[in-house]
Amino acid sequence: MSDNLKLILNKAGFHTSIQDEGRFGVQDLGIPIGGALDKEAMQTANMLVGNSPNTPVLEITMIGPKISFQGKGQIAITGADMTPELNGQHTDSYKTVNINSGDELVFHNAKTGCRAYISIGGEWETTKWLESYSSSSILDNHSQLKDGDSLSVKSNLPIDVKEYPLSKRPIYSYCYIIRVVTGPEFELFDLPQIEDFFNKIFTVGNESNRMGYRLNGELVNYSPKREEISSGIVTGTVQITSAGNPIILLADAQTTGGYPRIANVVTEDLSIVAQMKPGDELKFMLISQEDL
Amino acid sequence: MRIQPFGDSALLVTFENIISEEVNQKVISLFHVLEKSDGFNSLIPAFNSLTIGVNKTIWSLTEATSFVQDIINNQQLLSYNGDQTSYVIPACYDKEFGPDLDEVSTQSGLSLDEVIQLHTSHTYRVYMLGFVAGFAYMGSLPEKLWCNRKQTPRVRVPKGSIGLAGRQTGIYPTDAPGGWQLIGQTPLEMFNPDRLKMSLLKPGDLVRFRAVEKDEFKIIKLKIETGIFEMETIDE
């Protein structure tokens, strides 16, 4: 018997949005791809409720929401540990959770990691734009969810409770090594700057969001060699600002930019970047295209 | 011309490292050819480069590279022009809409009337869309109108504002932060996510500005709101 599950966000949290794989094929118009920053966590969450991997999820950031439910269904939580509690009791992440009418799910501040994901078994009844459910600042009032917003999902038939093996779950740290390949303007940098880029430990700046992560730590003696002609950006592009600071561009970044692109984070490591929070440290490690 | 991997799931094709119509036409022709293939999931044409997101469930970067290389080698395919449209864009060069008219006049040594006359006397090419959805980078400006960006960017530039920066002119499709020198405003909706043709302009289109008084600006706005406005185009 299928049921409808309604979620009411009594408190939306710091930054909660609907995300899926993102919207493709419209970047020539300047529309960002968007989509979940931690795709691995999104896909795992969907698998745990029997959804196809790129079904929309809620992406919650740093401070989680307070959600009450109406109707029956199944959910799963993955990603950052925000000590979720169901009706006042600790509830496990990385496991299918059965939801009944009146249940209340409360998240706290992220203990480890930065973003958690909530999947809901079934079909979302929210607006799709350009083949994607992902929130977008282009649409009025659609960039993030607000206190009091509600969502409705047509529940699937319940599946047997699944648990994701402990050995496969990510362990979040405060210090990361992020693998990159050389970027289009790599050769424009001199050896001292390149060495500095790979030797330095950068910290994630406070002004980091879904558009990009600003890193604290300037490349030594850096000054731009020439003015770049604006060119495309892909998720994971690391550009160097005129002041010498790296920015890792993420899913909501603008589609084009004019800073030199020194490196690109490999796709697999983007899920790790998504879990870094302001103050976390990282070092870049260069790998070759052949190593991928 | 250079094709290089861009991260692990994209390619970057860069033609000559200059901004010119000829180079940009190559970018746009390649874009129109690749648009028809299923093997790519995002394409970003820019002044002299095309960023190509490769659908890696279909093929590898190496396979995609040789496919793109073959197209570039085939001159005939690259002569494809797409459907280039020439638009006339109404623009109100009132100081209320163009708070930087005086600064541009000082920088260029031209009178306000000369700035407007010069801006409306040229046909501009849309080189690319970027920055925010539907923001068209158009050029090149007549040399006398080349100007520096604002020292301090504005936190909010109103939707429709027409700006100058370097050799480019552009229109803000939505309220956005920005550092371009603002000389006027168009009543047109450059981008509307609810419209079938979301962005009025596409790369390769041609644009001419037509100066309108405040009254006409308001009438056009009303016509757009009531759905009776007809876009003015120039037949080649």
Give me the tens of pLDDT residue by residue for chain A, a chain 292 residues long. Answer: 457 999 999 999 999 999 999 999 999 999 999 999 999 999 999 999 999 999 999 999 999 999 999 999 999 999 999 999 999 999 999 999 999 999 999 999 999 999 999 999 999 998 889 999 999 888 876 789 999 999 999 999 999 999 999 999 999 999 999 999 999 999 999 999 999 999 999 999 999 999 999 999 999 999 988 888 999 999 999 999 999 999 999 999 999 999 999 999 999 999 999 999 999 999 999 999 888 7
Query: φ, ψ for residue A264 (rounded to 5)?
Result: -135, 130
State the distance between the two ends of chain B, measured CA to CA, in whole angstroms.
31
Shortest alpha-carbon distance between residue A136 and chain B (Å) = 11
Q: Are B203 and A138 within 8 A, CB to CB? A: no
> Which positions ≥6 away from A129 have C-beta within 8 Å?
A23, A136, A139, B193
Q: Are A254 and B131 within 8 A, CB to CB? A: yes
Query: So what's the pLDDT on residue B152?
Result: 87
SS3 of chain B: helix, strand, coil, percent, to 5? 25, 30, 45
**Nearest residue in A to B203, CA atom:** A28
Contacts of A135 in chain B (CB under 8 A): none
Size of interface A-B (CB pairs under 8 A): 116
* Class of residue A189 by CB neighbours under 10 A (exposed 0-12, middle 13-18, buried 19+): buried
Shortest alpha-carbon distance between residue A198 and chain B (Å) = 17
pLDDT digits (tens, 9 = 90+) for B16-74: 999 999 999 999 999 999 999 999 999 999 999 999 999 999 999 999 999 999 999 98
- Minimal Cβ distance to B51: which of A25, A231, A292: A231
Contacts of A257 in chain B (CB under 8 A): 130
Pick from A266, A244, A154, A150: nearest CA to A193 = A244
Backbone conformation region of residue A79, classed left if phi is above 0, alpha if psi is from -120 to 50, else beta: left
Q: Are A289 and B51 within 8 A, CB to CB? A: no
Query: So what's the pLDDT on residue B80?
Result: 66
Amino acid at A156: N
Backbone conformation region of residue A94, classed left if phi is above 0, alpha if psi is from -120 to 50, else beta: left
Beta strand extents in A12-138 (DSSP E only): 15-19, 57-61, 66-70, 73-81, 85-86, 89-90, 97-99, 104-106, 112-120, 122-124
- Minimal Cβ distance to B193: which of A129, A181, A237: A129
Distance CA B33, CA A48 (A): 41
Contacts of A129 in chain B (CB under 8 A): 193
